[in-house]
């Protein structure tokens, strides 16, 4: 009896069923993304070529992708690709996978500062894959942007993405913790400290005790240093709020993400820091949860 040929449609059906049996979220979507990645065609092209045969040269690596996904390796790490504000970024296990909340953060900055304002200086703390700094550099090419990260490995990913999007010359990448790397930067020939119109950050904010509540995709594969922030999840944010005013220009703004249950505690930290900030407000994400803080010096 001849061996049945694997077509695009048959592969998608089988993979979706297998993912479903193994409790993989979004089984059909994951199957489509992985197969389109392997065949180097769009998901639309998959649907237009349901009857196209898939041969052994692609079946073998596809099985390996399936095995890794069953082990809960995130799809973005398997494809080394994540879309952010309609741009393609390279990602791997050295960096956190960008989330929609971070898109909202960048959009807020762009809306607050229109394209016709004078040049700004922006600092992206904990840049990771570089999506914040690079998105700003592309949308506001006249801005002076500094991006830092404690992880040299993460900075390598960010620099790779900056090269891909041809904006390397517009971003200064620095290695170090929080504001340490920018202490000696000069502004108008004056050193220590640098002054920024915007300080942006997607900080770690997960409590150590919440580790087991995270999905296996996140818990077992994304970098811990970008996720966890002490027993209360506020270790990084607490320092960020306290130290940022020393690095903000007059009327400068601090914007950062928080966990969806941290609004009250973060407001208390901001209240305690007065008069360092003139005003602050909490912004809701696409799920109508308070996830972004915008504070003005």
Q: Each residue of 149-207: pLDDT tens digit?
A: 999 999 999 999 999 999 999 999 999 999 999 987 765 555 556 799 999 999 999 99
62-71 per-position pLDDT tens digit:
999 999 999 9
Query: Mean pLDDT over residues 53-69, rounded?
Result: 96
pLDDT at 119: 80
pLDDT at 2 over 50: no
Round to whole Å and give the CA distance between 148 and 80. 22
pLDDT of residue 1: 34
pLDDT in tens, 222-265: 999 999 999 999 999 999 999 999 999 999 999 999 999 999 99
> What are the DSSP calls for the chain, one per residue?
-PPPPPBHHHHHHHHHHHHHHTT-SSHHHHHHHHHHHHHT--HHHHHHTTT-B--HHHHHHHHHHHHHHHTT--HHHHHT-EEETTEEE---TTSPPP-HHHHHHHHHHHHHS-TTSPP-EEEEES-TTSHHHHHHHHH-TTSEEEEEES-HHHHHHHHHHHHHTT-GGGEEEEESSTTGGGTT-EETTEESS--EEEEEE----B-GGGGGGS-HHHHHHS-GGGTB-SSSS-HHHHHHHHHGGGGEEEEEEEEEE--TT-HHHHHHHHHHTTTS-SEEEEEE-TTS-EEEEEEE-
Asked if residue 38 lies in contact with residue 6, where contact means CB atoms within 8 angstroms, the answer is no
**What value does the mean pLDDT take over residues 47-62?**
95
Instruction: Please report the sign of the dihedral spanned by the C-alpha atoms of residue 49, residue 50, residue 53, residue 59.
Output: positive
Hey, what are 74's tokens?
């995130």
The span from the CA of 190 to the CA of 280, in Å, is: 29
- The pLDDT, as a whole number, for residue 285 is 87
Mean pLDDT of 107-117: 83
Give the pLDDT of residue 194.
Answer: 72
The reply to whether the predicted model has a pTM over 0.85 is yes
pLDDT of residue 184: 76
User: Cα(278)–Cα(261) distance, rounded to whole angstroms?
Assistant: 24
So what's the pLDDT on residue 178? Answer: 94
Q: What is the mean pLDDT of residues 5-28?
A: 97
- List, for residues 113-159, the tens digit of each pLDDT value: 876 666 899 999 999 999 999 999 999 999 999 999 999 999 999 99
- Specify whether the CB–CB gap between 237 and 266 falls below 8 A: yes
Q: Residue for token digits 């002054």?
A: 195
- Check residue 50 and give its pLDDT: 95
Helix axis angle, 235-243 to 263-272, nearest 10°: 30
Query: Mean pLDDT over all residues of the chain?
Result: 94
Distances (CA, A) of 223 to 34, 71, 79, 95: 22, 17, 17, 6
Instruction: Kindly state the average pLDDT of the residues 61-80.
Output: 98
Place of tokens 């069923």: 17
Pick from 273, 210, 201: nearest CA to 242: 273
């Amino acid at each position: 009896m001849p061996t049945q040929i694997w077509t695009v449609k048959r592969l998608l059906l089988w993979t979706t069923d297998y993912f479903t049996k193994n409790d993989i979220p979004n089984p059909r979507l994951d199957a489509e993304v992985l197969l389109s990645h392997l065949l180097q065609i769009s998901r639309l092209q998959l649907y237009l070529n349901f009857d196209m045969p898939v041969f052994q040269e692609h079946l073998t690596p596809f099985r390996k992708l399936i095995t890794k996904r069953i082990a809960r390796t995130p799809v973005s790490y398997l494809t080394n690709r994540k879309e952010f504000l309609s741009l393609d970024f390279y990602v791997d296990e050295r960096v956190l996978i960008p989330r929609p909340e971070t898109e909202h953060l960048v959009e807020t900055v762009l809306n607050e500062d229109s394209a016709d304002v004078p040049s700004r200086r922006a600092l992206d703390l904990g840049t990771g894959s570089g999506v914040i700094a690079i998105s700003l550099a592309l949308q506001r090419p006249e801005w002076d942007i500094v991006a830092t990260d404690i992880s040299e490995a993460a900075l390598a990913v960010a620099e790779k993405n900056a090269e891909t999007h041809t904006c390397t010359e517009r971003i200064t990448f620095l290695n170090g913790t929080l504001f340490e790397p920018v202490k000696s930067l000069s502004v108008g020939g004056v050193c220590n400290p640098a002054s920024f119109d915007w300080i942006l950050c997607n900080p770690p904010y997960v409590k150590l005790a919440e580790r087991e509540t995270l999905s296996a995709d996140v818990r077992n594969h994304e970098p811990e240093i970008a996720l966890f922030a002490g027993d209360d999840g506020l270790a990084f944010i607490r320092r960020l709020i306290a130290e940022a005013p020393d690095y903000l220009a007059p009327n400068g703004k601090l914007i950062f993400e928080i966990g969806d249950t941290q609004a009250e505690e973060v407001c208390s930290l901001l209240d305690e820091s007065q008069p360092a900030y003139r005003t602050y407000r909490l912004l809701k994400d696409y799920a109508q949860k308070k996830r972004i803080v915008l504070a003005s010096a």
